[in-house]
Amino acid sequence: MKTGMTIAVLGATGMVGSRVISEASARGHQVLALSRTPASEDPNVTPIAVDANDSYAVREALASNGAADAVVLTVRTVPVDQEFLVGTTRTVLDTAAQLGIRVLVVGGAGALRSPDDHDLLVADNPAYVPAEFRTVAAAGIAQLRTCQGQAGGEWVYLSPPAMLEPGARTGRYRRGSDTLLVGVDGRSWISAEDLAVAVVDELESPGSERLFTVVHRDVRPSA
């Protein structure tokens, strides 16, 4: 397990990014918080103003702080902008490869296989992705394909379960590879806080998969 890292987080003020920053800082890591309007009073966090739409600014932010051990990409847009997401992902991957920085991309669940039909992607399964969210799922798949097309560098893509929302930090989750996970309660979900736990766990102790997923781990009551 690696401790005392410097972790850059792009999308620092978002639901996932802000929680990754809190989790990493609580474990004693130094964090570079990259966003348009960064702010933090945490001594372990260095706010850096950067617009993810500006590929040059992203490169400069990472290159100027090249001591980072890893960068976590948590950027999302509403409404979805696949071109922006793919472009930003490519910029981060290329820059990180040049600097020797590891990349963890927090993507979407659409790229995973359906638990009841491994030939069917979650993005194409209406049981998990209603029609109105198809474009979001497609953008996540395009983002993963961008990672897979990266010639060099070290990256990993984390697909959350079907539902990701703010909640409690339990520190418990179950990990899988390329197939959507479902809990014993029949739900495929995790809190953003526990997803952040999984992110920092992966940075500290990398797994062997390029694509992995997690789900809330239920604790059964004692008999």
What the chain holds in terms of domains, given with CATH numbers, is 6-216 (3.40.50.720)
Instruction: Decide the pairing of beta strands 102-106 and 70-73.
Output: parallel
Report the helix count and the strand count for the chain, using DSSP H and E. 5, 12
Angle (CA) 39-168-179 rounded to 5° is 100
Instruction: Output phi, psi for 134, to 5 deg.
Output: -60, -40
Q: Is 66 left (phi over 0), alpha (psi -120 to 50) or beta?
A: alpha
Q: Which two tokens stand for residue 138?
A: 């497609």
With beta carbons less than 8 A apart as the criterion, state whether 48 and 38 touch: yes
With beta carbons less than 8 A apart as the criterion, state whether 62 and 69 touch: no
For residue 222, the model assigns a pLDDT of: 41
For residue 85, the model assigns a pLDDT of: 94
Q: Which two tokens stand for residue 89?
A: 């992902």
Q: Print pLDDT tens along the chain (223 aa).
A: 566 899 999 999 999 999 999 999 999 999 999 998 888 889 999 999 998 888 888 888 888 765 789 999 999 887 889 999 999 999 999 999 998 999 999 999 999 999 999 999 999 999 999 988 899 999 999 999 999 999 888 999 999 999 999 999 999 999 999 999 998 888 999 999 999 999 999 999 999 999 999 999 875 544 3
For residue 3, the model assigns a pLDDT of: 66
Q: Give the predicted TM-score (pTM) of the model.
A: 0.93
For residue 59, the model assigns a pLDDT of: 84
Q: How many CA atoms lie within 13 A of 142 on its CB side?
A: 17
Instruction: Output phi, psi for 27, to 5 deg.
Output: -90, 0
Which sign does the torsion angle of CA 187, 191, 195, 200 carry? negative
For residue 81, the model assigns a pLDDT of: 92
For residue 221, the model assigns a pLDDT of: 46
Residue 163 buriedness (CB in 10 A; 0-12 / 13-18 / 19+): middle
- 62 vs 144: CA distance, rounded Å: 21
